[in-house]
Amino acid sequence: MEENIQKLLDNNIFRSCIVILVSIFIYELLNRLIFKKAKGRNSKLSNRNKTYLKVFSSFTRYALIIITTLMVLQINGINVESILAGAGIIGIIFGFAVQDALKDIIRGMTILTDRYFQVGDVVQYGDVMGKVISTGLNTTKIEDLKTFNIVSVANRNIEQIQVVSDSIDVMVPLSYELPISEAERVVNEIIEQVKLIPEIKKCEYKNVANLNGSNIDYMINVRVDPTIRRPITRLVHRIILQVLEHNGIEVPYNQLDIHQK
């Protein structure tokens, strides 16, 4: 029995499996302890702390993978010291091969230090507007607010990501024939109706914005949680049409006048 146990312990595959299992155990234990301690201090983690924890988790995972790989190689008779000694030349070759991955890792750290965005922020990436659900060393994951699809963005592309504010500028198009005093009365009526929406933080008149070919744009500014930007914008447009209809005012549109002699 003892001889069989000794043979098992001397088996490289068995020892390699033990090292891998221990590494996985350490990773899971560290994650549980750190997240538990963080939540113990704050009943609700801030978005910033969530971002830090996500990046730390990614860093720990990669560090353990490297250490475990070196240990497994050593167990199986591969001279790790000679590999590390030649790491200079290999590092140059490897660097060219994984330069995009290295850029992602560097950018991942930059997201933390420069606070480009954090978990919970609403951002715009191309045609996608969504909420940041996680930030790692390589990628940032965004949940599309429209389709609920998860979009993964390589961290090297963070310059293309814009943080969406809670401010929306909405135009009220009114005719040139409408006196400005009457126009502003209607705009203020619209604002009072918009303020009745429970999710609205603030709504105010911002004066005349544009003098267009067929109408004047009166701007109102609405502040609302960015996660409900789209539905609130649609609701505000509906209120504008209802108030204009109630006051007997038509929405201006381009018209072509033809004069014949």
Of 211, 234, 230, 207, nearest in space to 219 by CA: 207
Q: How far apart are CA 33 and CA 138, in angstroms?
A: 24
**Phi/psi at 258 (nearest 5 deg)?**
-110, 125
Long-range interactions of 12-21: CB distance < 8 A, separation 24+: 12/75, 12/76, 12/77, 15/75, 16/72, 16/75, 16/76, 19/68, 19/71, 19/72, 19/75, 20/68, 20/72
Final residue belonging to a domain, choices 64, 85, 106: 85
Higher pLDDT, 58 or 174: 174
Strand order in the sheet with 216-223: 167-174, 216-223, 202-211
97's CB contacts (< 8 A; 6+ apart) are none
What is the helix (H) or strand (E) element at residue 249, kind and residue range? none
Residue 70: alpha-carbon gap to chain centroid: 35
- In three-state secondary structure terms, 63 is helix
Mean pLDDT, residues 240-250: 91
Q: Which domain holds residue 218?
A: 167-246
* Mean pLDDT in residue range 51-61: 69
CA torsion 238-224-132-121 (nearest 10°) is: 160
Q: Which helix (H) or strand (E) holds 204?
A: strand 202-211
Q: Residue 38 domain-assigned?
A: yes
Which of 39, 67, 85 delimits the end of a domain?
A: 85
118: confidence class by pLDDT, cuts 50, 70, 90: confident
**pLDDT tens by residue, 154-167:** 877 887 888 888 89
In a domain, 59, yes or no: yes
- What is residue 124's DSSP assignment? E
Residue 239 banded pLDDT, cuts 50, 70, 90: very high
Asked if residue 33 belongs to a domain, the reply is yes
Tell me the two tokens of residue 34.
């750190």
Q: CB atoms < 10 A from the CB of 50, how many?
A: 19
Q: How confident is the model at residue 86 (pLDDT cuts 50, 70, 90)?
A: low
Q: Is residue 20 part of a domain?
A: yes
Residue 64 pLDDT more than 90?
no
100 within a domain of the structure (yes/no):
no
Q: Give the integer Cα–Cα distance in Å for 128 and 152.
A: 11
Domain count, the chain: 2
The strand pairing partners of 132, in sequence order, are 142
Whole-number mean pLDDT of the chain? 78
Is residue 61 a part of any domain in this protein? yes
* Residue 261 Cα distances to 35, 257, 258, angstroms: 82, 13, 10
CATH of the domain at 194: 3.30.70.100
Instruction: Out of 16, 51, 85, pick the residue that ends a domain.
Output: 85
Q: Does residue 123 lie in a domain region?
A: no
Specify whether the CB–CB gap between 222 and 200 falls below 8 A. Answer: yes
Closest to 214 in 3D by CA, of 258, 173, 170: 173
In a domain, 260, yes or no: no
